[in-house]
A and B are shown apart, each in its own frame.
Chain A
Amino acid sequence: MGQFFKLADLGAIAPELELILWGMGILIADLIIKDKKKLGIVAIVGLFVSGIFLFRLNGVEATAYGGLLVIDQFANFFKLIFLVAATLAIAISMKYLDIERENHGEYYALILFATMGMMFMAGAVDLVTMYISLETMAIATYVLVGFLRSSQRSNEASLKYFLLGAFSSGILLYGMSLLYGISGSTRFIDIAEALSRRPLNDPISLMAMITLSAGMFFKIAAVPFHQWTPDAYEGAPTSITAYMSVAVKAASFAMMVRVFMVAIYPMRPHWVAIMAAVSVMTMTVGNIAAITQSNIKRLLAYSSISHAGYVLIGLIAGNQTGLIAVAIYLLIYTFTNLGAWAVVVALKRRDVIGEHIDEMSGLFFKNPVAAILMLIFLLSLAGIPPTAGFIGKFYLFASAIETGHNTLAVIAVLNAAISIYFYLRIVVAMFMREPNEKTELTYSPALLTVLAVAFIVTMFIGIYPDPFISMARLAIPAGF
């Protein structure tokens, strides 16, 4: 039976393999090393080594494990996003965990394992591989959300996320089992082939598509499957919230692009209709709910819901511009959003929750640099030039207009306008209000590095986006 496994397959999964070994190494080193911050640095080194392996796969187009996994530029692009997000998230975690007195080696190992799951998700072209990778990521994330064991909010967040996540996985599996029943195969290509032979209005295909989409929409926290998001994001350790809001979301989108653009592509007229409705609801509900929030973590949680709505536009457009927009938007969002969360993490001090909007009051007078950085990240989230966020939104909206989804584009622009209002609320608090004694920041060198990196990339993409766009163009060949 040797024809299914070749030694070359190990080379194809080298970046993931390295993360697994490194994660296990950290679990063992945790017993010996008492200063847990060092383990954070070890984990970052591990992510860099994985990045080197990933770089060696640059430009490789191959399938591995008998067609369960593909190595292509699309997968590599997303894997890079996950590695960057994990690196930045670990960098903002180290000080934060010390403050929470919960600095353990398992934290870093779990982040590496979750990242490994995401990397497999980006490459999976088979339902079983995709599902197992998804669950590896999800279970690691459930634990990380509840990592602050003594905090009731963290426990509650973890439990809610876990229960709803398990439920949504059940729905996802239901759809998958129907697809398997239709095609007799778990490979995306075979499923697409079987679906295209069936009539478009075939009830069983429709049922499979709807349940599968519902499961997927839960993973990206699209309305009406978003209720878990504010609670989970608020209760989780802020560093994990940052990680979840970028990496978990990007991984789910990578999976969605593969499923919707390959496996159930024959059903496109149907899923475009559903997705357009979900996208409009997600943008609108996310933005309107964000207006009334006074907790920064909840506000950014709702903002991340609305961003998922924007990204869905790229899938609805479905052409090359649309998919490039999805990739570039998620890349930009990773840096910008992690930057914004890094500022929130900096507000955290021992015994101070540091997440109410009042605690940002007068930040500009106490710490002008942090306030200006936060301003730039918020402008980028709102999509105002010359920041990177503008480029992402520009591509998304352009793809909607290119494919004739004009109403959708108009609604998205209106939503972007609403979002400026609540982002500016934070800005007003930082720049116009009197500082109170609460406004104080704790820095660590790692946190400062994250802020600097996020700032540089956000501005660089905003001013000179060409290299990143050609990178995304390579990831999305025409006729994906």
Chain B
Amino acid sequence: MLETTLFYIFSFVAIVSAILVITQRNVVHSAIFLAATLLAVAGIFLTLHAEFLAGVQVIVYVGGILVLFVFVIMLIALNRTEVERQFNRQWTLAAITAAVLVAEFAYVIFRGKETFPLPSATAAAPAIAVTGNSQLVGVSLYTNYLLPFEIASILLLVAIVGAVVLSKKKTAED
């Protein structure tokens, strides 16, 4: 019961702050609400007994990526975004599409509930408690999912090289 209540609280916070991220004109406010969203998602991970994932979520997303966002915001001209109008004026269309999608998903979940028996989170908990959450993640990364784990390292290399290429200044020899 407590877990269900917590889930609803975290989800509500996540959704409301996600909406605020995209509606706030002030970029700093958006960034703060993004932090709220990410923390709420970390909370959902906790209720699912994925403690390691929750920790990673806080450290990497809130601690790392969001701080980078704030740095970038500090470095660019902030006031321009507040003065300039948003160039796409498709709020109504977007709202209608989103509403249709939400209705569709809600219908699917209610209709499909009986064919989609969710194991209760408490049932899975004892097995994890024995070995430890982060150990399980580590073992599965280095055994079952070794190949994607290794490809991900190349993915990161590509991302680093790409970031350097795109941001490098033109030198005289070019």
Interface on A for B, CB 8 Å cutoff? 1, 4-5, 9, 13, 20, 24, 27, 34, 64-66, 68-69, 101-102, 104, 106, 109-110, 113-114, 116-117, 120, 126, 128-129, 131-133, 135-136, 139-140, 142-143, 146-147, 149-150, 158, 181-182, 198-199, 202-204, 206-207
Contact = CB atoms under 8 A, between A and B. Distances in A.
Given A110-B162, A143-B165, A204-B108, A132 B155 contact: yes
A68 B166 contact: no
Given A1-B142, A101-B174, A109-B161, A132 B151 contact: yes
Given A27-B161, A68-B148, A203-B111, 17 more contacts: A13-B147, A66-B143, A66-B146, A68-B145, A110-B158, A128-B145, A132-B152, A136-B154, A136-B155, A139-B158, A139-B159, A139-B162, A147-B165, A149-B168, A158-B166, A198-B115, A202-B112
For chain B, give the interface size range. 20 to 34
Contact of A4 (B144, B161, B174): B144
Contacts, number: 105
24 contacts: A1-B143, A24-B157, A66-B146, A68-B145, A69-B147, A101-B174, A110-B161, A117-B155, A120-B147, A129-B148, A135-B155, A139-B159, A142-B162, A143-B161, A143-B162, A149-B168, A158-B166, A181-B116, A198-B115, A202-B115, A203-B107, A203-B111, A204-B109, A206-B108
Contact of A1 (B109, B139, B154, B165): B139
A65 B144 CA distance: 8
A143 B155 CA distance: 12
A158 B162 CA distance: 12
A431 B107 CA distance: 59
Nearest to B162: A143
B105 interface: yes
B147 A129 contact: yes
Nearest to A19: B154
B101 to A, nearest CB: 10
B143 A4 contact: yes
Contact of B112 (A9, A114, A135, A204): A204
B158 A68 contact: no
B17 to A, nearest CB: 18
Contacts of B173: 34
Given A66-B143, A198-B115, A203-B111, A106 B154 contact: no
B109 to A, nearest CB: 8
B85 interface: no
B80 interface: no
Contacts of A149: 165-166, 168, 170
Q: Which 6 A-B pairs have the closest CB atoms?
A: A143-B162, A203-B112, A204-B112, A4-B143, A65-B147, A203-B108
